[in-house]
Each structure stands twice: as C-alpha cells, then as structure tokens.
Amino acid sequence: MNSALLALLALVGYLVAYYTYGKFIGSRILRISDRNPMPAHELRDDVDFVPTRRSIVFGHHFTTIAGLGPIVGPAIGIIWGWLPAFLWVFLGSIFMGAVHDFATLVVSARNKGMTMGELTGKIISPSTRYALQFIMQLLLFIVLAVFALIVGTLFYMYPQSVIPVWLQIPIALWLGNALRQGRNEILFSAIALLLMYGAIILGVYVPVNLPGNPQTVISTWCVILFIYVFFASTTPVQVLLQPRDYINAQQLLVAMLLIVAGIAVAHPQITAPAVNKVAFEPGSDIPSMAPVMFIIIACGAISGFHSLASSGTTVKQVDREGDTRIIGYGGMITESFFAVLVLMAVGGGLGMGLVVDGELLTGAAAYHHHYSSWSAANGLGAKLGAFISGGANLLHSIGIPTKFGAAMISVFIVSFANTTLDSAARIQRLSLQEIFRNREGDVKSPINNRYFSTFLIVTIAALMTFLKPGGQGAMMLWPLFGSLNQLMAALALGVVTVYLHSKNKPIYYTMLPMIFVLVVTLWAMVENLFMFVADGDLLLTILSVIVLILTLVLTANSMRALIRKREVST
C-alpha cells in the first residue's frame, strides 16, 4: 500500500466527516446556537474563565488532548497490522472520539462549565457524583505523576529538546502579552513560531546534559517539572497556558505539513503487514488484538482524558457556542490525522532507512527489526524511536537534515507531553474544588484557594512519583491507566446520552459508541484484574475491584435515568 495514497484518503475522509457528520451532530443532535450563554462570559474571573478567540482555544484544546497519545498508541498498535490500526483510528475518531469531545464540550458549556464529575451528579443522579469523581481523580493523579516521569525521561533521552522546550515559556509570555494588547495575531504568532524553530536549532548545537546517573537526572527533572506545574497551573490561562498551547499547536501543524510533504515526495510503500498473522498464532507474545488494541490506541480514536479537557479547561475559554464544532469535533479529527501520519511514519518511513549496529536496514527488514516482538516494540523509547526515525526519514526527503528533523520531532514530542502535564494539574484542581463545593455553590476553604489546592495535588503526585528511586513510583499505577482512560470515555458518553434523552434528542449517536467502548474496556479491566491477582499485586487488585464496582453503579444509574427520562435543566 502506498503511504501517500492512504494519507490522502484519510485527509479527504476527515474533511468530508467534519462538514457532514460533524455538522449533523452539531445542528441536528446538539442544536448548537450562538444565542446560548457561555460560562466564559457568565463566570468570567480572568483566571480560569476567560472568553477567548476561537483560533487560540483550538490551539489550547488540540495540544492538551494530543500529548503523547497519538504517537505512542499507533506506534505500538501497528504491531497487529497497519489495516486494523488505521481503521480504528479513522472510523473511531469520526464516529466516536470526535462526537465524544464535541458533545462533552457542549453539554458542559450548557451547565456552567461543570467538569464530568459534577455533570454526572446533575444529569444522572447526585449519588453518582462522587463515584465518577473518584475515577477522575485517580486517572488525573496517574497522568500527573507519570507524565512528570515521562517528560523527565524524555529530557534525559533527548537533551537537545531541553533549551527549546523551556524557551517556549518566555516566548509564550511575550506572545500572550502582545495578543492581549490587540497586536496582529498572524504577525506576532509567526514571529513566535520562528523564535521557537530558532530555539530548536540552538538546542541541536547546545544539548543540556545534567550531571549524574540516569536515575539522578530523571529525578532532578521531575522535581523541576513539579515546581513548574504548580506555577503554570495557577497562573491565569491567558498569561501562559493559552499562548503556549497556541504556538505549540502551530508548531505541530507545521510539522504535520512537513511530514505530509515528505510522504508526498517520498511516498514510501507501507512495509508493515496489513494484518500481522504472527500476532494471531498460538504462542505469540503479542496480546490479543481485542480488546488490547482498542485500549492502547486511545487518543487517535477516542480517549476519556479528552472529556476532562473539554469540560475542565477548554469550555471555560470558549467565546461562542458556535465555536465548539471546530474546537471539539475539528480538534479531535486533526489529532486523528496526526495519528495516521504516525502510522505512515512507522509503517513506511521507517523502511526508508534504519541504522542498527552500523548496518543500514531498509524496507520490511527495518520494520521487522523494530517490531520483532511485543517486548521489543513496547517500551517508551522504542515507540518514540520508531516515529522519530521514520519521521526524520520523511523530512529528509524534502531536504531537512536528518539530525535537525529528529531534533524537531523530539522537541514537539516533549512539548506536548509537557502541555498535558500542566493542563492535567489545572483540570484536577478544578475537579477537586467541585468535590468540596457545597449546595450553595461555594467551595469550602482552604480548597477554594487555587494555590493551596494545586499545592496539595502536586505534592501527592510528587510523593507517589518518588516512592521508588528515579521517579519510578509513578509507574505503580500505570497498568491501570489505559483501561481507566477508556472507561472515562464510555462514562462521559453515558452522561451525554442521558442528557440528550432528557431533551428528547436522538441518543443512538452517543449510546452506540458508549456501549462499544464500555464493553471492550470492561473486557480489558477484567483481564487485567486476573493478571493482578496472579501477580499478587494487592494495590492494583483492590483499585481494580473498586473501579469495577463504581462502573457498575454508574452504568446502572445511567440506565435508570434513561428509563425514567428525568428532565434536567440547562
């Protein structure tokens, strides 16, 4: 299969989906209208609630939901074959993921910017509020702790990314100040983007290697990152979060265009098998495609973290309800197209040349060397390495030196992991404040103080990270992440389904994706539970049982809410 043809088909398909299915969901199912008031205006506080132009909110949402998900998921998911991975990414995003992101954004906007936890209590039943909040907090603690470790590890792996990533902060502060003063958005954004690419060149020639062994270096970066996260997630969104995410989004979009150009010029054949027969042979170390592939490839198809972003930070910045389609549905299918490009890079670009112990491997030999087994392809370095090598090969075909291309890709990988880190801290702080909110809507002190609540969250995450040397304590709960993330997607779709039913709107467009994701996720969770029991892992066993019980409670309450068709106010 020619990678250029497949990428072109995907691009056309996404554009058609946005202007047909996305428009249908927005106009006929959600009935979006600019006449509806937005929480960014109603609750404006110039810290979290700030009405912002559509292009900037799109950039924020896109980079928040992107992170490493559309890279690491497809980079390992292709091991079952490029065809099932492509179909899940392409169809899953159009009919599930984009609907999920779009709908949760709109429903939250119509309920004063509530997060999914509060929405569950209002739309389904008050008794379910804390059940979902527990799942949310557990998921976000894992994200915060593990992503600090991941970013610290990436700084160690790619020292050329250190200077560019940290220079983004002053560039973003400068751009944010310029935009607030009404300066020309296109001109100043272009200048900021040029400065960022200049920083990448600087990083290539001045890599930052901290002294010490790997554990010491990674631990040092984790400490620095937790300090940064505290300040970044308490600073008003328009000062740092918005402009940094905005120029990060532009950086990724430019990189995507360059990769597309590389695919168009080189148009390598996809050397990965359409369906990997080895994965289905008895005795293979590759797990069963179902349900594992649907859990591993999340962000490119559907991801529960997106609903937390939509209802956590994004909704509080949207200026008009009409903007939600491009931000929610458009942001998700853009991310999904990026996941397709990752599949093309590892499935085709890797075959353009992979140096192994001084020997140049090409074609199927390069692909099969990297994906020789599940253990060989499953580590963070292996996943990112496949994309960086394949992507750099594609960029080289349009004249970009391999060294600079690899550095550019590594920089935006670290950048997006970093945006997920501090966005997750802000989302978790807002969710925590909702938990302690009383019936009158006030938050009991001291949780009401954003500095105290953020300090509490960051401290707990840091303690979890440093329970083991080198920040490895964060990995204790990592086996729960994939299933928890997809479970969150199913539960969020359940909330939207009950909301639509209460408004006499068709529910099949959210209920069918909810059922599919819930089934595969419960399947994976039960398999994981048996594995935890067999391994004697008491902590993961207890948490898995608790989450399964809460899921059954939430599902049962959702079904009761659908049956009684309880009217909810908007």
Name the nearest CA neighbour of 227 among 428, 61, 63, 455: 455
| Separation of alpha carbons 366 and 373, rounded Å | 13
Residue 54: exposure state from Cβ atoms within 10 A (0-12, 13-18, ≥19): middle
**What DSSP designation does 49 have?**
-
**DSSP SS3 for 52:** strand
Domain-embedded: residue 556:
yes
The pTM is what? 0.93
CATH code, domain with 178: 1.20.1740.10
Phi and psi at 370, nearest 5°, equal -75, -35
Q: Indicate the number of domains in the chain.
A: 1
Cis peptide before 243 (omega within 30 of 0): no
Name the residue range of residue 333's domain. Answer: 3-564
- Residue 527, Cβ neighbours under 10 Å: how many? 16
**What DSSP designation does 432 have?**
H
| Separation of alpha carbons 528 and 244, rounded Å | 37
End-to-end CA distance of the chain: 49
Domain-embedded: residue 557:
yes
| Separation of alpha carbons 304 and 138, rounded Å | 13
Tens digit of each residue's pLDDT, the chain (570 residues) = 889 999 999 999 999 999 999 999 999 999 999 999 999 999 999 999 999 999 999 999 999 998 788 888 999 999 999 999 999 999 999 999 999 999 999 999 999 999 998 899 899 988 888 899 999 999 999 999 988 988 898 899 889 999 999 999 999 999 999 988 888 888 999 999 999 999 988 998 999 999 989 999 999 999 999 999 999 989 999 999 899 989 888 888 898 999 999 999 999 999 999 999 888 888 788 899 999 999 999 989 999 999 999 998 999 999 999 999 999 999 999 999 999 999 999 999 988 988 777 788 888 888 888 888 887 777 777 778 889 889 999 999 999 998 888 888 888 888 888 888 888 899 999 888 888 875 555 656 688 888 999 999 999 999 999 988 877 888 888 899 999 999 999 999 999 999 999 999 999 999 999 999 999 999 999 999 999 999 999 999 999 999 999 999 999 998 888 887 644 444
| Separation of alpha carbons 292 and 70, rounded Å | 16
Q: Are 418 and 158 in contact (CB under 8 A)?
A: no
- Residue 420, Cβ neighbours under 10 Å: how many? 24
Q: Which two tokens stand for residue 138?
A: 């557990």
**DSSP SS3 for 2:** strand
Domain-embedded: residue 569:
no
Q: What angle do CA 157, 166, 253 make, to 5 degrees?
A: 85
Domain-embedded: residue 375:
yes
**DSSP SS3 for 101:** helix
Domain-embedded: residue 534:
yes
| Separation of alpha carbons 471 and 477, rounded Å | 13
| Separation of alpha carbons 99 and 67, rounded Å | 20
| Separation of alpha carbons 547 and 149, rounded Å | 24
Contacts of 46 (CB under 8 A, 6+ apart): 236, 238
Q: What angle do CA 97, 255, 144 make, to 5 degrees?
A: 55
Domain-embedded: residue 179:
yes
